[in-house]
């Protein structure tokens, strides 16, 4: 009797655990990337827990609103945060058999990211400062180029596993007979390029800059303060976490257990932390070795990502079918 109940409860509990873990780990990942970047650039590194302190500080501060800020401006941080938390919960990290798995597939995930993007762009334009609308326009430019590439990457993975559900994709890739998929190599490169653009990372945008000519993400959130800013920063960290987990789940799926059982938890958790650590370090390396592009080079960068994703699909159709 108790065993039966555990069978029903375990997936739900694990799902909650996954969500809580995403909320807790996301700032840590940001801190780790910042630390690696500081090491690589010969600076003295900020402490690993710095993002948490920043969030705590911002949550304590008072919110200052512009006179003409509408209710949308006040609601946007919550919407964005909710979208990112949901996205992080959908991506299978601890198990491929979680309740949220069938609820949303890869295409819905892209939709959730798009919803957050629309709200942050609207909020950027809401107060009517020139920086806000400049940032919003640039964000939409990046977004409309990055989205098709991301969808194409998902379609390639879906063609391989015959399903758009993330759990099915991951379990097919992780547990099927070992096969070399050249198409996934292409898709992986395309996905990394899209992630760099979507997370406002160096070749496209600089997350630490406040230089008016170059900033994209920062320009939109200049007007935010206090707990609103904290939520947005946290959401940005969650987005980086969700994208990292997504990349790991699609291209390095080994070690994500099938069954949602607590017995598998330590292995899954250790694997995830190890992979995230390496992924964060690689991100810092990319950010250190590449220079920020001019904004008008970004379409070319994302066009290349789209092309790679299309090639991935073509290569899949040519090389990996009909055998």
Partner 1 sequence: MSHYYGQFINLLAAILLLLSFAMLGQRRILSLINLFMAQGAVLCVSTATVAFVTGQSHLYWSALITLLLKVILLPWILHRLIRRLNVKWDIETLINIPTTMLIGIVLVIFSFNLALPISELAGTVTRATLGIAIAAVLLAFLMMITRSKAVPQVIGFLAMENGLFFAATSATYGMPMVVELGIALDVLVGMVILGVFFFQIRERFDSLDIRHLEQLKED
Burial 126-137 (b: 16+ CB within 10 A, else e): bbeeebbbbbbb
CA distance 175 to 290: 36
Q: Does 159 bind partner 1 (CB under 8 A)?
A: no
Q: Does 187 bind partner 1 (CB under 8 A)?
A: no
Q: Out of 45, 63, 185, 286, which residue is the one contacting partner 1 (CB under 8 A)?
A: 185
Select 104 or 142, whichever has its Cβ closest to partner 1: 142
CA distance 166 to 97: 10
Closest approach, Cβ 120 to partner 1, in A, equals 27
Count of residues interacting with partner 1 (CB under 8 A):
21
CA distance 106 to 111: 9
Q: Does 314 bind partner 1 (CB under 8 A)?
A: yes
Cα separations (Å) of 146 from 10, 160, 191, 279, 284? 36, 22, 9, 20, 21
CA end-to-end distance (rounded Å), the chain: 48
Q: Does 183 bind partner 1 (CB under 8 A)?
A: yes
Phi, psi of 278 (to 5 degrees): -65, -45
Q: Does 320 bind partner 1 (CB under 8 A)?
A: yes
Place of tokens 């919407």: 79
Select 286 or 310, whichever has its Cβ closest to partner 1: 310
Q: Does 299 bind partner 1 (CB under 8 A)?
A: yes
Burial of 50 (0-12, 13-18, 19+ CB in 10 A): middle
Q: Out of 179, 213, 263, 266, which residue is the one contacting partner 1 (CB under 8 A)?
A: 179
Select 261 or 320, whichever has its Cβ closest to partner 1: 320
Closest approach, Cβ 303 to partner 1, in A, equals 4
What tokens does 212 get? Answer: 């008016």
Q: Does 156 bind partner 1 (CB under 8 A)?
A: no
Select 158 or 183, whichever has its Cβ closest to partner 1: 183
Q: Out of 182, 225, 273, 295, which residue is the one contacting partner 1 (CB under 8 A)?
A: 182
Residues near partner 1 (CB under 8 A): 179-180, 182-183, 185-186, 189, 299-300, 303-304, 307-308, 310-311, 314-315, 317-320
């Amino acid at each position: 009797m108790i065993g039966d109940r555990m069978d029903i409860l375990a997936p739900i509990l694990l799902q909650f655990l996954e969500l809580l873990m995403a909320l807790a780990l996301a700032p840590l990942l940001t801190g780790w990337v910042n630390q690696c970047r500081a090491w690589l650039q010969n600076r003295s590194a900020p402490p690993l827990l710095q993002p948490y302190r920043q969030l705590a500080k911002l949550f304590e501060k008072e919110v200052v609103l512009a006179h003409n800020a509408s209710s949308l401006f006040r609601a946007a941080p919550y919407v964005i945060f909710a979208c990112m938390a949901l996205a992080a919960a959908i991506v299978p990290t601890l198990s491929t058999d979680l309740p949220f798995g069938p609820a949303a597939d890869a295409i819905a995930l892209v939709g959730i990211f798009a919803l957050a993007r629309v709200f942050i762009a609207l909020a950027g334009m809401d107060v009517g400062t020139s920086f806000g609308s400049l940032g919003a326009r640039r964000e939409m430019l990046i977004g409309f180029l990055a989205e098709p590439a991301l969808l194409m990457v998902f379609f390639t993975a879906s063609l391989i596993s015959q399903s758009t559900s993330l759990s099915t994709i991951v379990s097919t890739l992780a547990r099927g007979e070992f096969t070399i998929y050249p198409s996934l190599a292409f898709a992986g490169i395309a996905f990394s390029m899209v992630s760099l653009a979507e997370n406002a990372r160096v070749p496209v945008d600089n997350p630490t800059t406040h230089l008016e000519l170059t900033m994209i993400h920062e320009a939109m959130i200049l007007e935010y303060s206090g707990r609103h800013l904290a939520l947005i920063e946290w959401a940005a960290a969650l987005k980086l976490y969700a994208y990292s987990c997504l990349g790991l789940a699609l291209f390095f799926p080994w070690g994500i257990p099938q069954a949602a059982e607590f017995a598998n938890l330590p292995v899954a958790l250790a694997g995830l932390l190890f992979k995230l650590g390496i992924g964060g370090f690689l991100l810092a390396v990319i950010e250190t070795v590449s220079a920020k592009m001019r904004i008008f080079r970004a379409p070319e960068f994302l066009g290349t990502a789209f092309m790679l994703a299309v090639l991935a699909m073509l290569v899949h159709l040519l090389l990996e079918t009909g055998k």
